[in-house]
């Protein structure tokens, strides 16, 4: 008996020494393979095979040591710690390989994947063996407990059954679930791949979407090179497809949670559409692509995109207009002078840069409806800025008129700058329409055209407001002079000289800094305003001394005509001054000849009876009866010949 026990102890010691040696050898082999994860894993099978044997020996040894003292069992447990650590490291290495199946295949070692599958199969069989043993143990234990309860009063228990129950624990091992964990690590590798790719371009989601083509390359590689390495019952292709789709689903939701800019929303919608098409071309079953990307709500991206566009346009334009309006009202510095030597600001350029960027982004969607709605949003923003400019110009002019001592200098220069910007903006809007309309169908082209034409008209309205304000500024300065027209002081000839000198001063700046197309319109309006002011003052004159008034009117007309000849060709001016010449004829004609002058006047401009009667009453050389006589004959002729008013705009204003 003693000899037999000694022999058993000696055998155990030799076996433990052998285990230690084999663990060292296996450790070197494992470290060799670990140095090149995507390599051929030369020792993968040998390591696993020997570890499997050593693990069985360990389990038996530890089970037997339980019969000894607790101290002996603890010593035995420590002796197997290097083996335990090696088993843990191998498991970790195995699952690291599972996380790198694609790189391993790309490196030209599909045989490694076959080894992984084989090891998982062996471990699965071992797990199944343990599960079967556990099931048997449960049955035996249940039977044993039942027997104990039945024979509780007896001294002897079913010792044979108990012995069988204890013997099954000798080869007990931990269930490893290699296949399940293998699939979990493949799943984790896919998730990690998406995380890494997203991290590269997190600050540039557009680039992230552009670079997602690797998904399709991976799927093709999986189908061609990985699927053949797995047992058919693993259904590995469907598993990979589901995991890739799941990873994509989660990362796109993350992208949306990061609130990307508007153009990315549009790009994302297009990408999802292309993804469906590409997966169909790869013959991927639709049922594997669940849940749908963006939960199937990619169409709502259009609404999100448009809402964001409107929000951004309003935000950008609001900030831009705040700066522009502050500069306009503060007028601390003169406005900028552009390359053409004209006053202007950067506002128009910046605004249309934004609008063009958003329009280009919308155009990339390939959907006319999207582009049309972006143009509609841009049109609303343009109209809002136009309203702001008109209100601001009116307000600043009102301040100047009502409280000139508090008004800041430079209003003329800034109104010129705004006027120039409106023409520039109208040109930009016209160019935008010409560029965008051909991109879409006739239906959406009509919407784009309408929106931008309304915007262009709005810009021209603001420009008109500017030119009218520039004219109003002139006549605001001329109020003292125009009040003297046809008064006693007017006859000395200095009033028109003052008016023309003021015109000349203002027009010098206008001609130098105002856009030529606006300048031409301003000159026509200035001429109309001058004639209206002059004829209105004439019609409102209490008395006109004859013939002195005639002489002074001729002098005024000559001086004014001479000045305006520097702005327009004389032959064009004659049509404007013709009405003054006809009015002058009415004043020069004797009582008996007024009828003839009126007839010429009426044929051209209509009867304008109120205006004519005012002139006749102002003539100092006609008494009341003479005026009545003239007007009766005039009215009778108008009635007999059915002459209707067809007044020029100038006379319309004067008549009212």
List the domain boundaries for the chain.
2-176, 180-295, 302-474, 479-655
Quick: pLDDT tens for 218-277.
999 999 999 999 999 999 999 999 999 999 999 999 999 998 988 888 889 889 999 999
pLDDT over 70, % of the chain: 89
What is the per-residue pLDDT across 189-211, written as a single tens digit (0 to 9) for each?
A: 999 999 999 999 999 999 999 99
Do 609 and 534 meet the contact criterion of CB atoms below 8 Å apart? Answer: no
The tens digit of pLDDT for each residue in 602-614 reads 888 888 888 899 8
Q: Which residue has 């105002």 as its token pair?
A: 514
Q: Give the mean pLDDT of 10-29.
A: 82
Instruction: Give a three-class secondary structure readout of 390-429.
Output: HHHHHHHHHHHHHCCCCCCCCHHHHHHHHHHHHHHHHHHH
Give the residue with greater pLDDT, 19 vs 378: 378
**DSSP tally for the chain: helices H, then strands E:** 26, 2
Beta-carbon contacts of 347 under 8 Å, excluding residues fewer than 6 positions away, are: 320, 321, 323, 324, 421
Residue-wise pLDDT tens digits, 543-566 = 999 999 999 999 999 999 999 999
Q: What per-residue string of b and e applies to 480-512 under the rule 16 or more CB within 10 Å gives b? A: ebbebbbeeebeeeebbeebbeebeebbeebee
In the three-class reduction of DSSP (H, G, I as helix; E, B as strand; rest coil), residue 93 is classed as: helix
Query: Which value, to the nearest 10 degrees, does the dihedral of the CA atoms of residues 588, 589, 595, 597 take?
Result: -50
Does domain 479-655 match CATH 3.40.50.300?
A: no
Q: Out of 1.10.3720.10, 1.10.1740.10, 1.10.10.60, 1.10.357.50, select the CATH number for domain 302-474.
A: 1.10.357.50
> How confident is the model over 10-14, as a mean pLDDT?
65
Give the model confidence (pLDDT) of 58-115 as tens digits: 888 877 776 667 776 677 778 788 888 999 999 999 999 999 999 999 999 999 999 9
Task: State the pLDDT at residue 156.
Answer: 40
Residues 611-624 as b/e (b if ≥16 CB within 10 A, e otherwise) read: bbbbbbbbbeebee
358-375: average pLDDT: 89
As given in the structure block, the two tokens for residue 360 are: 């280009």
| Among 75-84, 110-119, 415-424, 491-500, the least confident range | 75-84
Arithmetic mean of pLDDT, 42-70: 84
291 preceded by a cis bond (ω within 30 of 0): yes
Q: How many residues does the chain have?
A: 656
Whether residue 376 is predicted with pLDDT greater than 90 in this model: the reply is yes
Confidence of residue 170 (pLDDT cuts 50, 70, 90): very low
**According to the per-residue pLDDT averaged within each range, which of 276-285, 360-369, 631-640 is highest?**
276-285
Smallest Cα–Cα separation from 209: which of 271, 135, 147, 138?
A: 271
pLDDT at 378: 95
Instruction: Please tell me the predicted confidence (pLDDT) of residue 557.
Output: 96
Whether pLDDT at 459 is above 70: yes
What's the pLDDT at 74?
Answer: 77
CA distance 389 to 387: 5
Q: What are the φ and ψ backbone dihedral angles of 392, each rounded to 5 degrees?
A: -65, -40
Band (168; pLDDT cuts 50, 70, 90): very low
CA separation for the pair 53, 44 (Å, rounded): 15
Q: Please name the residues in contact with 240: beta carbons below 8 A apart, sequence gap of 6 or more.
A: 186, 190, 219, 222, 226
Q: What percent of the chain has pLDDT over 90?
A: 69
Q: Do residues 408 and 334 lie in contact, with contact meaning Cβ atoms separated by under 8 Å?
A: no
Instruction: Confirm if 116 and 97 have CB atoms less than 8 A apart.
Output: yes
Do the domains 479-655 and 302-474 match in fold?
Answer: yes
Q: Compare 67 and 436 and report the one with higher pLDDT.
A: 436
| CA–CA separation, 620 and 222 (whole Å) | 109
In the block, tokens 């006809």 appear at: 582
For residue 3, what pLDDT is reported?
45
pLDDT in tens, 380-405: 999 999 999 999 999 999 999 999 99
Longest dimension (CA), the chain: 168
Q: How far apart are CA 360 and CA 187, in angstroms?
A: 39
pLDDT in tens, 270-311: 899 999 999 999 999 999 999 999 998 877 888 888 888 888
> How much is the pLDDT for 172?
57
What backbone phi and psi angles, to 5 degrees, belong to 231?
Answer: -60, 145
Lowest mean per-residue pLDDT among 76-90, 418-432, 460-474: 76-90
User: What is the per-residue pLDDT for 364?
Assistant: 82
Q: What CA–CA distance (Å, rounded) separates 518 from 382?
A: 20
Mean pLDDT on 458-465: 97
d(CA 392, CA 388): 6
More confident call, 650 vs 524: 524
């Amino acid at each position: 008996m003693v000899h037999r026990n000694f022999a058993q102890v000696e055998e155990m010691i030799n076996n433990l020494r052998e285990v230690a040696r084999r663990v060292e050898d296996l450790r070197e082999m494992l470290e060799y393979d670990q140095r090149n994860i995507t390599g051929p894993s030369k020792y993968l099978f040998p390591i696993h095979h020997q570890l499997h044997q050593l693990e069985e020996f360990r389990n038996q040894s530890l089970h037997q040591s339980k019969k000894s003292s607790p101290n002996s069992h603890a010593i035995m447990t420590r002796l197997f710690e290097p083996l335990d650590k090696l088993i843990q490291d191998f498991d970790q290495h195995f699952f690291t390989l599972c996380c790198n199946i694609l790189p391993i295949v790309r490196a030209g070692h599909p045989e490694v994947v076959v080894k992984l599958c084989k090891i998982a199969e062996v471990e699965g069989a071992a797990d199944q063996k343990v599960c079967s043993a556990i099931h048997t143990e449960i049955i035996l234990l249940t039977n044993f407990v039942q027997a104990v309860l039945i024979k509780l009063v007896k001294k002897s228990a079913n010792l044979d059954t108990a012995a069988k129950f204890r013997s099954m624990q000798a080869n007990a091992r931990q269930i490893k679930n290699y296949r399940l964990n293998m699939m979990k690590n493949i799943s984790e590798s896919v998730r990690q791949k998406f995380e890494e790719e997203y991290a590269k371009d997190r600050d540039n989601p557009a680039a992230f979407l552009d670079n997602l083509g690797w998904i399709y390359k991976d799927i093709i590689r999986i189908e061609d090179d990985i699927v053949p390495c797995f047992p058919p019952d693993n259904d590995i292709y469907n598993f990979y497809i589901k995991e890739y789709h799941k990873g994509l689903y989660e990362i796109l939701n993350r992208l949306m949670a990061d609130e990307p800019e508007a153009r990315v929303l549009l790009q994302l919608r297009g990408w999802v559409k292309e993804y469906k098409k590409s997966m169909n071309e790869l013959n991927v079953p639709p049922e594997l692509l669940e849940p749908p990307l963006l939960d199937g709500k990619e169409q709502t991206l259009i609404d999100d995109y448009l809402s964001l566009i409107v929000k951004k346009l309003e935000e950008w334009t609001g900030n831009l207009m705040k700066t522009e309006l502050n500069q306009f009202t503060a007028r601390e510095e003169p406005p900028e002078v552009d390359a053409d030597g004209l006053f202007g600001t950067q506002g128009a350029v910046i605004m249309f840069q934004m609008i063009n960027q958003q329009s280009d982004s919308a155009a990339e969607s390939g959907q006319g409806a999207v582009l049309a709605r972006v143009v509609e949003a841009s049109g609303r923003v343009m109209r809002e800025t136009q309203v702001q400019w008109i209100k601001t110009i009116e307000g600043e002019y009102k301040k100047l008129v009502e409280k000139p001592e508090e008004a800041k200098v430079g209003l003329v220069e800034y109104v010129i700058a705004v006027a120039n910007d409106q023409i520039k903006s109208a040109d930009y809007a016209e160019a935008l329409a010409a560029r965008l309309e051909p991109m879409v169908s006739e239906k959406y082209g009509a919407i784009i055209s309408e929106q931008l034409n309304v915007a262009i008209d709005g810009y021209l309205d603001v420009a008109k407001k500017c030119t009218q304000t520039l004219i109003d500024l002139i006549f605001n300065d001329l109020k003292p002079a125009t009040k003297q027209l046809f008064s006693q002081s007017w006859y000395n000839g200095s009033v028109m000289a003052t008016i023309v000198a003021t015109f000349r001063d203002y027009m010098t700046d206008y001609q130098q800094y105002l856009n030529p197309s606006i300048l031409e319109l301003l000159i026509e309006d200035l001429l109309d305003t001058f004639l209206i002011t002059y004829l209105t003052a004439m019609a409102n004159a209490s008395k006109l001394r004859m013939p002195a008034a005639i002489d002074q009117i001729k002098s005024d007309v000559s001086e004014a005509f001479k000045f305006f000849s520097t702005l327009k060709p004389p032959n064009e001016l004659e049509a404007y001054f013709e009405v003054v010449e006809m009015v002058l004829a009415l004043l020069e004609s004797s009582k008996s000849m007024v009828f003839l002058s009126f007839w010429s006047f009426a044929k051209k401009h209509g009867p304008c009876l109120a205006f004519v009667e005012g002139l006749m009453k102002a003539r100092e050389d006609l008494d009341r009866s003479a005026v009545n006589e003239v007007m009766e004959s005039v009215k009778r002729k108008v009635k007999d010949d059915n002459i209707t008013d067809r007044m020029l705009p100038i006379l319309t204003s004067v008549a009212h």
